[in-house]
Every structure is written in C-alpha cells, then in structure tokens.
Amino acid sequence: MTNCDDQGYKIKEDFNLPDIVDYNFHIKPILSDRCYKCHGPDVQERKSDLSLHTNEGLFNRIGAGGKPIVPFNIKKSEAFQRIISDDPEEVMPPADSKLTLNDQEIALIAKWIDQGAKWKEHWSFSKPAKAELPNIVNKDWAFNEIDHFILSDLEQKGLNPSLSADKEVLLRRATLDITGLPPTLDEIKEFENNGSNSVFEKTLDRLLESKAYGERMASDWMDIARYADTHGYLDDTHREVWHWRNWVIDAFNDNLPYDDFVIWQLAGDLLQDATKNQTIATAFNRLHRQNQEGGIIAEEYRVEYVADRVSTTAKAFMGITMECARCHDHKYDPISQKEFYQMAAFFNNSFELGRAPIGYESGPTMTLIDDIKAQNIDSIRQIIQDLEYQVNDIKVDIGELNQWKKNALEDQNWRTFIDQNLKGFYSFESLVDSKFDNHIHSKNPAHAISWKPTHTAEGINGNAILLEENNAVLFGKEVGNFDRTDAFSMSIWVYLNEKYDDASILDNCDHKWHAYRGYEMRIVDGKLSFRMSHNYPQNAIRVDSKSDLPTKKWIQITFTYDGSSRANGIHFYFDGTPISSTPVFDDLFKSIRHDYNNDMVVMPYFGLKVGSRMNDPTLLRSKIDEFKIYDRELSEIEVGLLSGKLSVNKLADDDHLFTTEQIQKWYNLNHDNSEDNQLYKVREIENDLITDTEEVMVMQDHKSVNSTYVLNRGIYNQRLEEVFHDAPSEILEFTEELPENRLGLAKWIVHPDHPLTSRVVVNRIWQMLFGKGLVTTPDDFGNQGALPSHPELLDWLAVDLVENDWNIKGLIKKIMLSHTYQQSSNSRSDLEDFDPENILLSRGPRYRLPVEMIRDQALASSGLLTAKIGGPSVKPYQPEGLWAEQAFQAWANYEQSEGEDLYRRTLYTYWKRNTPHPFLTTFDISDRATCTVKRNITSTPTQSLMLLNYPVFHEAARRLAEKNLIEIVQSTTSKRIEYIFQSLTGRKPSKREQSTLENFYHSEKESFMKNKSSTNEYLKIGEYRGTTDDPIELAALTSLGHSIMNTVNFYMKI
Amino acid sequence: MEIKFNNLKSRREFLSNSLTGLGATALGTLTNPISNTFRSHSSGKIPHFAPKAKRVIFLFQAGGPSQMDLFDYKPLLNQLNGKEIPESIRGKQRVSGMVSAQGKFPIAGSHFKFNQYGESGSWVSDLMPHTAEIVDDLCFIKSMNTNAINHDPGVTFIQSGSEQTGRPSMGSWVSYGLGSSNKNLPDYVVLLSRGIRIQTTLKSTLWGNGFLPSHHQGVQFRSGKDVIHYLNNPNGVDKIKRRKALDFIQNMNEIEYQTSLDKEIATQIKQYEMAYRMQMSVPDVTDVSKEKDKIKEMYGPDVNVPGSFAANCLLARKLAEQDVNFIQLYHMGWDHHFDLPSRLRASCQQTDQPVAGLIKDLKMRGLLEDTLIIWGGEFGRTSFSQGTLTNNNYGRDHHPRCFTVWLAGGGVKKGLAYGHTDEFGYNIIQDPVHVHDLQATILHLLGIDHERLTYKHQGRYYRLTDVHGKVVKEILA
C-alpha cells in the first residue's frame, strides 16, 4: 500500500480496502450520495460551476482554481483536499448540508486517485453484453449458465453452495412461484415417485401452462400499474377497469413477448388496425388516481396525470426515477427537467379534462361490444347511411318546388308551417309566482329559481331576464328533452354585457361532476360554442363559431341541428345570417339523455335552463329574451325569414337568392316522408343498442396535439419553454425512424440497444423468484440505486432474453432450472455471519410469502377456492362498517360478496384506493398510489392477529378437515394429521413434528368434547356450510389445520 | 462489467469491508455486502437532542374550521359586512372551483361574540366556552398557511408533507424515529369520529406508512367489538384454547428453526407473543367503564357514546398514560360551505368540552408536561361569503392563506398568540407558519431534527418536511 505522507494524506492500512478501487462500484456511490446535490446533474442547484458527475467535470480545471481530481496525485486533487480540510470554511461537504464522509470512504477515494482515478460510464446506461461464462472448478454442480456465475463467485470466496432442496420442498417452492398456489397431494405424490431426470423440467412446463400462472403474474403487475377499482382522492368512486386485469392475465398465459407486452400497454391503440385487446392494454396509463372533488381546477390534475404516466413508464420499464426531474433537473441521474417534459409530450395528447366524472367511466374510453351486437350495430349503421343518402336525395320536380315556394310565401304560410314545430316560446315579460309564461304550452311555464330574486329589465321586445349571480330560469324536464337522434333548433336573443371567457347561455346538461351529459350553448373566449355530450369531451360534439359574439348590443342567436350526431349537422346564425364554425370535437356515439345509478348523484339534473349553473361561471349582468324551441331542424331560409333579415318579397322575386338545393331543403324539412320516419326510428334503435354497452378507460391521442411546456417547479400553469416529444438521450437516442408518438416511445423502450429495459425485467423476475433482485433497488438503476450483486449474470440474462424474443416463460424456466434456484434454503452456520442476506446465493430463497399467496394457499389446499379466471373484483370478508366510517358518500358502503365470490383468488379483491382491504395492507401490499415494483416484507403483530382471527382461515381449515373426512372414510388419526399437514405445507411432517401435531390434536379434541356449544360455534365461522357427522373430530382437525396455517411452514416460502 | 469484490481473500476481510468497515450497520438493515450504500437511513442517534415531549395527541379537525368565527377575531368584518372584499386584499388569489363562478365576494362578519379570556387575554368566540377556560395553557398560531386548497390534498399535506398520497404520515415518521415505548400497544394509534350533518371524507392511507416498513403504519382503534381488526378470538375459541394454540405454533416454529436456522422465525415467534399481549391489553386500555364519573363529566355528555369525539378524547388520555407515542384523532365535521352559523355551532358543541376536558385531565395527572397536543384542520376559511350572504346566514369556502391551530403541553409556550393576519383575516402580515414549519416544530419538540429524520427510497432521502420547514423557535418554552 502506498504511503502518501508527502501528499498530506496517508491511506490507512486497517480499512481493508479492495485491491482495485472501481469508480462505479466504490467511488460514484459516495459522490452521488454526498456531492451530487450541489455538484451533480441539476444545473440550477450547481455550486461553483463544479460538476462531479461527468468525466469532464471531475478532471478539468474549474475557473482559476485547480482540478477536482488529478490522477495519481492526491495533493493536487482539489476536491479531495477540500474533503480532508480542517478549515470549517473550506471543508466539503459543508457543515450545513449535514452530510459527511467517513474515514473509510475518504480512504477509498484516496486509493482510487492513487491508482490513477479511472472513470467509467454508469453501469446500467451502456448496452449489456454476454460475457464468457466464468470458469468453475466444480463443473458438475452447474445445471445451466446461471450456475457458472453464481458458483464462480462462491468458489473465489471459498464457499460451497448448499445441497439441493428436498423434492417436496422444491415442488412447493416452484408451484407457488409459478402459480401462486400450493401443489395438490396428487401432484406431490407423482413428483416424488417419478425418478426421471427431466421430471422437474416437465413439472415447470406443466405449471407454466396452467392458467393460474397468469393470475400469479398479474398480481405483481397490478402493483406496478397502480391498479385500483376506484379513482382515489376525495370522492373515490368506482371505475370499471377489471377488463385490463383480464387482459394482463391472458397476456401472461399466452406468453405475449415482453416487448409486445410493453408496446401494447403504452401504445396498443396506435398499432395498425389495433385490436380490442391491444387497446384495452393501454388502460395501463389510465390507472393512476383521478380527482373528482368539486373545487379542483381540472387542468391542474390533468397535468398531474401526464406526469404520473411519465414516472410510471420510466420506473416500470426502465427502472429510473424520472419524477425527480419534474420540478428541477435530476440531482443524481443525467435527466434534465426539459427531458422530463419532452417525455411528457408523448402522453399529453389525450382527450381528457382532468376531472373524472362521477357515475360514468372517465374518458377516453373504449366501448366493449360483443361480436353479435357489434354485427347488429354495423348493419344498422349501414341502413342509417343508406337512408341518409335517400333522404338527401329526395327531389321534387322544379315546377312543383316553385309552386310550393310561392304558396309558402303567401299569407305567411311559411310561418304557420314552422309554428307546428314551435314547442316553447318565452318572452320573459313578467314574473308571476316566480314563473314566466310559455306562450305555446301554458302548462309548461318557466320557473325562476334563485338564491336571490330574479329581475327583469328592458329587452329586445318588452322585458328580458337580467342574469345575476346565482339566479337561473328553469324550463322543466319536459321541455327541450332531446336526444342526439332528434332534430331540433333554438333561437334566443341575448345582450352581452362584456366579452366572456367561459360562461353558459343555456344548458340542458348535467353538472361537471356528471360528465356534462346533455347539450349546452356557451360562450368561450367570446365565441359561441354548442356542445352535445354523452361524456364530455371524448364522446361529444362541439362546434365553435369562428367569429366573436358582439357585446353591448342585442343579437339573435339561432342554432339548428339535424339529428345526425355529426358536427356538420349543426348550423349557427347570428341575426338570421349563417355564421361559419369549426368542429372542435366530433365523436358523439351514445345517448345524451340523463340516466344514472342513483347512488352516484352528487348534483341533481335540473332540465333545460338559462342562467347560473352551480359552480360554473354565468353571463353576469347580461340579458336574455325571446327564447324559442323547435322540434325540428330549420332551414337557412326559414331562419332568415324568422329573423326578419330576409324579406318575403325579395325571396319571392329573386330566383337567384338561394340555390335550388337550398329551396329543396326548405321544402323537405316541411314534408314528412317515410324515409324520414324510418331514419329517425333506425337511429333510435342504434342509439339504444350502442348506449347500453360497457366502457373501459384507454389511451387515445387527440388529432390536434396539445402543446407541452416545461413547467416551472412542476406547477401546472407556470409554463416556460415549449418542448416536443423526445426521450432522454443519455440512455439511448430517439432516432428519426421511430414514429413521433407513444408508439415511437414504446419502440424506443424495447429497442435492442436500450440499456435498461431488458436488465430491468430480468431483475424483476429474479426478484419474484428469489425475494430480491440482483439489483436490490428494482425501481432505481440510476446513480443512487444499488449496484448489481452479479452484474455479468444480469447482463447475460438480459441479452439472452432479447435473443429469445423476450420470452418471459422461457426466462422463468431458465432461472428455475438452475442449481442455484434449486438449493435448500436452510441457513448454514458458516454463512450466518458471512452472508446473512444471501446476496451470494449460496442457498435457496426463503421469505414470507406475498399476501395473495397466503390466502390463496388456504383456499386452494382446502378446496374452497373458486376456479374462475378473470371478471369483476369481489368483496371478501372485511371488518364491518370500515368504508362507511371513513367516508360519507352513498357509494362508500361495502357490500360483501356472496357464495363463490367469497373464495376467489386474492388478486380479485376489490381495491378501494382510500380504504384498501385491511388484510392486504397488513401484509405489505403496495399502496397502489403510484407505480411500485417492490414490496416491503415485514413482520408485525397485526399480521399475526389476521392469521389467527380472519375468518377465512378457520373456514378453509374446516373445509380441509371435512374434505379429509369425506374423501378418506377409513383412516387413522396419524394419517389424518399427515394429510392436513401435507396439504398445507407441501411435505410430510417429521417424526418430531408428527408427535407435536398429535399432542395438539388430542388436546384440542378433548377440549372440544368438554364444551359442545363452543364446538358448534367454532364450526360456524364464515359462510361456508358443510356436512358434519362428527363435529368434535371435525373441530379438532379444523383447529389443527388452522394452527398449522399460523406456522412458518405455511406462510413462508421455504 | 468486470469488477466485483472478486479480490477479497478472506472471510474476515469480506466481513469487515462489507459490514462494519463501511459503517453500514447503523440500523442493521443494510447488510448487502456488495452494494455500496454506505449511509444508514436516518442520520444520527435519535433523539438528536433532549425532547420536550414524549408523545403527541393530534386532535385533527378535518374540513377546515373557520378561524374568524372561533379564534382570529376580526371586528372589521362585521363593520364591512356585505361589502365586497377589496381587490387589494384578495389579489389574484386562486379560489377553489366551488366559488370561481361567484361574481361577488361579500365580506361576512362573524355571527359570534368574541371575548378575551384568561390571564393571557386570548380571544375566543362564544362557540367555545370550554376552550375559553383553558386558554392560558394554549399556544395559538394564527398565521398557519398551506399549499392546498382542496380537502384531499390539504389533509394529505398536513399529515404527510406532500399533497399526493403515498408518503409516510407524521405518526409513521415519529414511530420510525422514536421506536416503541410500549410493548403491548402499537406506537401509532388512530381514532375517528363523525361530525353532524357534514362529513369530510378520510382515508386509511392518511395514517399509512408510505415507503416505511409497515410496522410504522397507524393502527386504527375502532369503537365496538374489534378495537383492532380481528383482535378478538373467533367464536368458539377462548383464552385458554388460544394460549394452547400459540404454544403449539411456537413449538412447530422452533422445530423448523432447528432445521433451517432461519432467524426470521425468531421474529415471527415474537410477533405472535406481541399479538397475544395486544389481545389482553387493548380491551383493557380501551375500556372506559372504570373511569370515575367525575372524570367522564369533564369530557361532556357524549363521552358515553362509543366512537364519539368525546369518547375518543378520553381514550386518547388513556393511551397517553400507556406511552403510545402518536395518538391521532380525526373529527370529520368542519367543512362549512353553507349554513355556517348553525353547522359550526353543532361542530363546536361536539368538540369544545371534550378538548378542554382532555387538557384539564392531562394536566391533573401531570401528563400535559410531556405530551404535545395539537388542535387544527387542513386549512382555514374565507372571510367572504360563499353563496349568498343574508342577515342570518352565510358560508365560507376553503382558504389556504391563513388559518389557526393551537398547541399545548410539552415544550410549548403557554398563553401565547403567535403570528398575525390582516384586518380582513385574509392574509398573514406577521410571522407566517407554514405546514412544513409546524411539522418541523412538532418533531423538534420530540427531540428530532426534521432534516436528519430521513429514509432512503428510490434513490432519494425523504423526510416529512420534504426540503422545507423551519422550527418555530418563538413558540418553544
């Protein structure tokens, strides 16, 4: 060891420093943890223009000062000298940072400099390559390549691997790992009796082919995807999103290659001719929490969702913590704030408001239609198309047309025709009993409702309504109750006091809480906007006028609609003159009528109204007059005539004022014909069929892309520079041949050159099988993350996975076929101090099972488990009143499932974000708030209470005992005990265990015999009712089984 | 990738290098011999300095109590009742979506009479006659402010230091920092009670452990049969049978330990013993039937209604006596957008006497000295009326810019009013205290430096106060 006395620092011998100090493994973790905060990738925070995270920064002169690190020269290495400085003004890190380096760490840095300070790129940011298999002495031990890497390490440290696990232990381990369920007694017998060399491999094949495999894999993926059955935040209402979970289960069972698994979830909707499944997969990026609270600014949360998609995508697939770069440049990894928003640009084009509606699915959604219904709807749509063509094609002889026109213009006949369709006319002259007359149907007056009195003021004709804060005029639910299939028109006079940014003129639609279902006429940025919505904006039409509405003068606004559900079926007129307009949204395909589950009404539907809409801006100090409602489309000529702008005489005299088509349209709208009626009826049928379908949230890109900006400190409305889609280039360049959308991003992530994706998934599968990954921070492969324990093995497996077309089942099988996996998990006295955490893998995996497996094991081994795959979430036993005591809403009422749904696999348990099932949270399931790729494994007394007292374990134990008594009529006590023990633990008891079990059994039997009433009570736990000839025997065996479930033999993986 | 610890020669070398040598044993959790994660989770030994309080009772008033109707006396509001609040005061403040449609923001004077009480002369409205009796023990902070304007982010923020769900709650941090003081009860207990007519939704993630290990999770004590989920033995299983079963379980586990030498088994055995002790001790500690009537009367008539705020206050005292470190009460009834005069009165009637009773009871027993009590909600309310202001009615919307909380007990100055709002009760004009400052102060009183109570998660050291917060030294005794 060098004596560096002359350099002002002596590397002390007693630290046992490694012979060769490695930058990535020894030095960078110190620099990242202690120095990067001020001298790292974050440009804003960087002090003295010194960056220690780059090659240049470490070795080049800063300003007039010295070089931070000078290879082979400790004395000239300024950074090092500052670290060891005695001067409190000079020492680094500074005292106020509350960070320090210990002597060992300082010695490591010194030795590294002394050895030439060799710099290396971050290990996970360069493409993995397959190294040659390391040499091993004990060649016979290796079953496959994996073992070379593990054993070579062990041999170098003078350690032996452990013996192979017993056959029955191995079968249980493998069965739980692949299916999440225990092996059956028959499977155990068959496996034990089969002496063939390939029996384990064949067993793995059988397990990987079982449908339970997909369920087991989906459990983990639900954590990563932050799956929940509710939206979270204050209102936390239901979302129907289990369709996505079904897709995940199937995808794993079909062994969808991992690259496709990624592509479909990120961008399946953008694939050519995207299938239903490819689109459902994209629900992945809609599973984040969604806010519904009344007072929120929706845009703030829309921005939040986009950020969540970025963080989740980065963490789930690439193992990097992008979210750190949302408010500032990443402090540890080479990801700038700009790059965060460049990636956000991929996810910023969705059709959404930021507020999830209550009672309806949160758009964008995909409609789920079965094939037969889809065919029906397709053929009906064909009929509609034909009929529309026919209706438009109806032409009368020109002579007849002229004759009709002449007649219509005589004696105001045209007006008589229109008046047949005039269904409401309100002139707002005077308020009598808080009502305004309807001049058409006196039984349907308009009601002024208000927290303040409604006032009238001078109008265009007599009086008008003056709109003030919190007043509104209601026309009742019978008036203007149109669906998208109805043709209708309205005209209204307005006097606008000012130019409004966003205010309602009239609406017949639901509150913002309920997706704005219905239709409405608004002013947006001074322009007229008409909307019809099933679920605004993604199932809606919106048409905006191109020109502004005038202010401080009376104007008559008319709109006409033809019942076509198309934006081009809507026409605007100001003072009788057609106004050109822009279709903003044009995708309405479900009913706009009001129909909801009664539990979910937060704000009631009031019907057609003008004026204030609860919580939405009003046309303050403006006036409204002469409101007319027609139940058909009006032609341009009629609107002109009604407004007075078009004179009858001129129309009569001037044959060139309108085209023949325009006159023809006027004629047609005044003549019913069979095609019209048919069209209307067929549209109604189509409307009913399509409206009555389920929907599931998906991703969908809006044609006109939103602009994306860097947001100052991540705040939604503090926009800085505009940015465009791109991916972090330090990881891999986003090249031009990639599509410029989410699909491009997905392809970038699974690109064979991507350094992270394959490593991250291999590591996660390793974690699934061994309890911890080769990198113990599966969510952070960056500078602050842990370093791989076996980097060459990780890289070898990563490359191998890509070479094998991302075959996940193949990867699992390969790992499980290794001798490493098949070792006994017993600890050894020679390992206890040396490798207590089993980092070196000198023994098999051993840890408490994930929560799903604990309950599923009980259900499966007893025969209580419901053999059904997929479907909606279920509600097993839960402490009574738990939801209701935390929330007041009507929907916060837990309705426990019945029958077979009480015994579904645990992954189907309903996940209410605000109050998840306590059994799950007690056993360390992740909170599903954000993407989580690793669960804690803790042991707590509340877990013990769950296993001791949660009813399903007693119920399952009873069912198991009953099964034994029914299946095997003639048996001995010791055989019965063995049956129960083996069913629950996968192995036969040892002699000592057998005698402990028997003692307990006898003592239980005795105690049940003494107390028959408690025996009967004990046998009634849970809903399951079986048959009992011998309650004492059943109770004793039940108690035995239940107690076995409380031993480590049951709830641990061994 | 070629370098690993391949060059380590002996077991001794390996050991010293990976474990003791690199100083990773501080909490015994980081024993990965390969990873160079040198720093322990939490720096320094806790307590970082001498604590003033040993435990916390947080009386959380969910929904946002109206400060200008309770403690922050603003006579100007009554003088200007009905007048539009000046633009200069309101500025371009963000209003919640509940009132953004309102064209007018008329000032609403409080309907309640204010008086000064105690030697400290603290202002209290006549809605809180019992609190008025204990003001000399309280330290009011009238200059609290927060970032959030809606309930869910607001409550989540004050409880966890972040507006987004997923961080550990304050009680979990304290449990993580202080560890256990009681071997038979959880470190962190949560009690819920409901308001009258108005409720503010809560969620169990509010007392969640976030990324901390789950034994730091708050344990909800419920009224009724099972105080803790599945605390009681099921039907047909009595104490004796349970004890026998536990002995059997332990025997079986010991046999497995002898084969496997797995140390986790010892931990499991301990958890089962602790569970058994909880089964014994929790019903006892939550049983208030043996309390003297005289004591119960201090908490008001609702004390006999299980699950009421009053009953929870009494229970809080009992838990404090048992050295539970963090006792978190939530009362759900303070969101008074409309009909404030009658609804606020109802909320005060439910809570005023129990709170005063608790303080007096703790004081009597000498527990107030080392117990920190905090009363307050997630934000305040507006001095303008939400909805229409009439002669006998008004409402108030959420207001993050200022609100009042009070602290009492361990290490806090008595009879102090700290911080000032303007005459309109709209903005803070002196000594603002941000939520992160309050959190830093609470930890400080427990002997914890909020900057040093950290936990590494996903590459970053997290703390309750994020990167903010300063201790409010002026209120420390």
Asked which of A971-980, B122-131, B256-265, B410-419 is least confident by mean pLDDT, the reply is B256-265
Closest residue, chain B, to A795 (C-alpha): B1
Contact A834 B14 (CB under 8 A): yes
- Token pair listed for A141: 């031990």
Q: Answer yes or no: do B212 and B293 share one domain.
A: yes
What is the percent of chain A where pLDDT is above 90?
74
Contact B271 A469 (CB under 8 A): no
Q: At A8, is the pLDDT very low, low, confident or very high (cuts 50, 70, 90)? A: low
Does some domain include residue B358?
yes
Nearest to A199 by CA among A179, A171, A173: A171
Does some domain include residue B256?
no
Contact (Cβ atoms closer than 8 angstroms) between residue B63 and residue B332: yes
Closest residue, chain A, to B17 (C-alpha): A16
pLDDT tens readout for residues B339-375? 999 999 999 999 999 999 999 999 999 999 999 999 9
Q: How far is A1014 from chain B (nearest CA, A)?
A: 4
Q: How far is B49 from chain A (nearest CA, A)?
A: 15
Q: Answer yes or no: do B228 and B306 share one domain.
A: yes
Q: Answer yes or no: do B12 and B70 share one domain.
A: no
pLDDT of amino acid B35: 32
Q: At B104, is the pLDDT very low, low, confident or very high (cuts 50, 70, 90)? A: confident
- Please indicate if any CB of chain B lies within 8 Å of the CB of A782: yes
Contact B245 A1046 (CB under 8 A): yes
A825 contact residues in B (CB cutoff 8 A): 260, 262
Chain centroid offset of residue A229 CA: 10
Give the 3-state secondary structure of residue B460: strand
Contact (Cβ atoms closer than 8 angstroms) between residue A535 and residue A691: no
Contact (Cβ atoms closer than 8 angstroms) between residue B469 and residue B434: yes
- Token pair listed for A8: 């002002």
Closest residue, chain B, to A780 (C-alpha): B458
CB interface of A with B, residues 284-313, below 8 Å: 289, 291, 293-298, 304
- Token pair listed for A142: 């290796």
A829 contact residues in B (CB cutoff 8 A): 261
User: What distance in Å separates the CA atoms of residue A820 and residue A798, rounded to the nearest whole number?
Assistant: 18
Closest residue, chain B, to A935 (C-alpha): B211
pLDDT tens readout for residues A889-912? 878 889 999 999 999 999 999 999
Closest residue, chain A, to B14 (C-alpha): A834
Give the 3-state secondary structure of residue A357: coil
Average pLDDT over residues A50-74: 86
Contact B235 A1021 (CB under 8 A): yes
Give the 3-state secondary structure of residue A673: coil
Contact A930 B166 (CB under 8 A): yes
User: What distance in Å separates the CA atoms of residue A505 and residue A592, rounded to the nearest whole number?
Assistant: 19
pLDDT of amino acid A596: 64
Contact A98 B263 (CB under 8 A): no
pLDDT of amino acid B98: 65
Greater confidence, B39 or A329? A329
- What is the greatest pairwise CA distance in chain B? 87
Provide the residue range defining the domain that includes B7: 1-40
Is the pLDDT at A448 greater than 70? The verdict is yes
List C-alpha distances in Å: A430 to A446, A452, A458, A493, B207: 11, 16, 11, 17, 58
Q: At B5, is the pLDDT very low, low, confident or very high (cuts 50, 70, 90)? A: very low
- Total domains present in chain B: 2
CB interface of A with B, residues 125-154, below 8 Å: 131, 153
User: What distance in Å separates the CA atoms of residue A508 and residue A511, rounded to the nearest whole number?
Assistant: 10
Top-confidence range, A208-222, A387-401, A423-437: A208-222
Asked which of A114-118, A1004-1008, B15-19, B345-349 is least confident by mean pLDDT, the reply is B15-19
User: What distance in Å separates the CA atoms of residue A246 and residue A255, rounded to the nearest whole number?
Assistant: 14
B4 contact residues in A (CB cutoff 8 A): 25, 153, 790-791
Does some domain include residue B260?
no
Q: Residue B60 pairs with which residues in a beta bridge? A: B330, B376
Does some domain include residue B272?
no
Contact (Cβ atoms closer than 8 angstroms) between residue A171 and residue A204: no
Q: At A1046, is the pLDDT very low, low, confident or very high (cuts 50, 70, 90)? A: very high
pLDDT tens readout for residues A699-754? 999 866 679 999 998 999 999 999 999 999 999 999 999 999 999 999 999 999 99
Torsion angle defined by CA atoms of residues A833, A834, A839 and A841, in that order, rounded to the nearest 10 degrees: -110
- Please indicate if any CB of chain B lies within 8 Å of the CB of A568: no
pLDDT of amino acid A451: 55
pLDDT tens readout for residues B197-255? 777 888 888 998 888 887 888 999 998 888 999 999 999 999 999 999 999 999 999 99
- Please indicate if any CB of chain B lies within 8 Å of the CB of A791: yes
Closest residue, chain A, to B166 (C-alpha): A929
User: What distance in Å separates the CA atoms of residue A98 and residue A199, rounded to the nearest whole number?
Assistant: 58
Q: How far is A682 from chain B (nearest CA, A)?
A: 41
Mean pLDDT of chain B: 87
- Please indicate if any CB of chain B lies within 8 Å of the CB of A163: no
Nearest to A950 by CA among A924, A928, A922, A927: A922
A15 contact residues in B (CB cutoff 8 A): 21
Per the omega criterion (within 30 degrees of 0), is the bond before A93 cis?
A: yes
- Best of A937, A944, A1002 to disrupt the B interface (most B CBs within 10 Å) is A944
B10-31 burial string, b = 16+ CB within 10 Å, else e? eeebbbbbbbebbebeeeeebe
Give the 3-state secondary structure of residue B124: strand
Greater confidence, B52 or B267? B52
Q: How far is A1020 from chain B (nearest CA, A)?
A: 8
DSSP conformation letters of A430-479: --BTTEE--SS-TTSPEEEEESS--EEEE-SSSEEEEP-TTEEEEEETTT
Contact B459 A102 (CB under 8 A): no
User: The domain that contains B73 carries what CATH number?
Assistant: 3.40.720
Q: Answer yes or no: do B16 and B161 share one domain.
A: no
- Best of A797, A938, A948, A977 to disrupt the B interface (most B CBs within 10 Å) is A948
Q: Which of B97, B165, B186 sits opposite A615 (nearest CB)?
A: B97
Does some domain include residue B275?
no
pLDDT tens readout for residues A649-664? 999 988 889 999 999 9
Q: How far is A240 from chain B (nearest CA, A)?
A: 21
Enter the DSSP assignment of B306.
Answer: T
Q: Answer yes or no: do B66 and B13 share one domain.
A: no
Nearest to B11 by CA among A153, A135, A161, A159: A159
Closest residue, chain B, to A836 (C-alpha): B31
Chain centroid offset of residue A25 CA: 36
Enter the DSSP assignment of B476.
Answer: B
Q: How far is A468 from chain B (nearest CA, A)?
A: 9
Does some domain include residue B250?
no
Q: Answer yes or no: do B66 and B212 share one domain.
A: yes
A155-192 burial string, b = 16+ CB within 10 Å, else e? bbbebebbeebebbbbbbbbbbbbbbbbbeeebbeebe
Helices (H), A804-923: 808-816, 851-862, 882-886, 918-922
Q: Answer yes or no: do B36 and B158 share one domain.
A: no
User: What distance in Å separates the CA atoms of residue A211 and residue A253, rounded to the nearest whole number?
Assistant: 6
Helices (H), B291-400: 293-298, 309-321, 340-364
CA torsion through residues A396, A402, A406, A409, sign: positive
- Token pair listed for A816: 């499980």
Contact B458 A788 (CB under 8 A): no
Q: At B379, is the pLDDT very low, low, confident or very high (cuts 50, 70, 90)? A: very high
Q: At B13, is the pLDDT very low, low, confident or very high (cuts 50, 70, 90)? A: very low
User: Cβ contacts of residue A186 below 8 Å, gap of 6+?
Assistant: none
Greater confidence, A462 or A613? A462
Give me the numbers of helices (H) and strands (E) for chain A, helices first please: 36, 23
pLDDT tens readout for residues A119-149? 888 899 999 999 999 999 999 999 999 999 9
- Please indicate if any CB of chain B lies within 8 Å of the CB of A637: no
Nearest to B70 by CA among B13, B126, B16, B151: B126
Radius of gyration from C-alpha coordinates of chain A: 36
A400-424 burial string, b = 16+ CB within 10 Å, else e? ebeebbeebbeeeebeeebeebbbb
pLDDT of amino acid B263: 85
- Token pair listed for B443: 């930890």
Q: How far is A798 from chain B (nearest CA, A)?
A: 13
Q: Answer yes or no: do B85 and B26 share one domain.
A: no
Nearest to B358 by CA among B196, B192, B188, B137: B137
Average pLDDT over residues B295-319: 96
Nearest to B150 by CA among A516, A292, A229, A361: A292
B242 contact residues in A (CB cutoff 8 A): 948
Radius of gyration from C-alpha coordinates of chain B: 25
- Token pair listed for A1049: 């033999």
Q: Answer yes or no: do B209 and B296 share one domain.
A: yes
Chain centroid offset of residue B273 CA: 29
Phi, psi of A675 (to 5 degrees): -65, -40
Mean pLDDT of chain A: 92
- Token pair listed for A796: 């070898």
A993 contact residues in B (CB cutoff 8 A): 252, 255
Beta strand ranges found along A570-684 (DSSP E): 570-574, 577-579, 581-586, 608-611, 623-630
Beta strand ranges found along A704-764 (DSSP E): 708-711, 719-723
Is the pLDDT at B17 greater than 50? The verdict is no
Taking residue A560's Cβ as centre, other Cβ atoms within 10 Å add up to 24
Closest residue, chain B, to A994 (C-alpha): B252
Greater confidence, A970 or A177? A177
DSSP conformation letters of B129-161: HHHHHTGGGEEEEEEEE-S--SHHHHHHHHHHS
Does some domain include residue B46?
no
Q: Answer yes or no: do B7 and B154 share one domain.
A: no
Contact B229 A879 (CB under 8 A): yes
User: What distance in Å separates the CA atoms of residue A774 and residue A785, rounded to the nearest whole number?
Assistant: 12
User: Cβ contacts of residue B286 below 8 Å, gap of 6+?
Assistant: B221, B227, B315, B318
User: What distance in Å separates the CA atoms of residue A639 and residue A656, rounded to the nearest whole number?
Assistant: 18
Nearest to A848 by CA among A936, A930, A950, A746: A936
Taking residue A743's Cβ as centre, other Cβ atoms within 10 Å add up to 20
Does some domain include residue B267?
no
Contact A938 B215 (CB under 8 A): yes
User: What distance in Å separates the CA atoms of residue A355 and residue A154, rounded to the nearest whole number?
Assistant: 56
pLDDT of amino acid A598: 63
Angle at A316 between CA A315 and CA A318, to 5 degrees: 65
- Please indicate if any CB of chain B lies within 8 Å of the CB of A1: no
Q: Which of B165, B203, B260 sits opposite A827 (nearest CB)?
A: B260
- Token pair listed for A680: 């209307």
Q: Answer yes or no: do B59 and B36 share one domain.
A: no
Q: How far is B328 from chain A (nearest CA, A)?
A: 14
Q: Answer yes or no: do B29 and B176 share one domain.
A: no
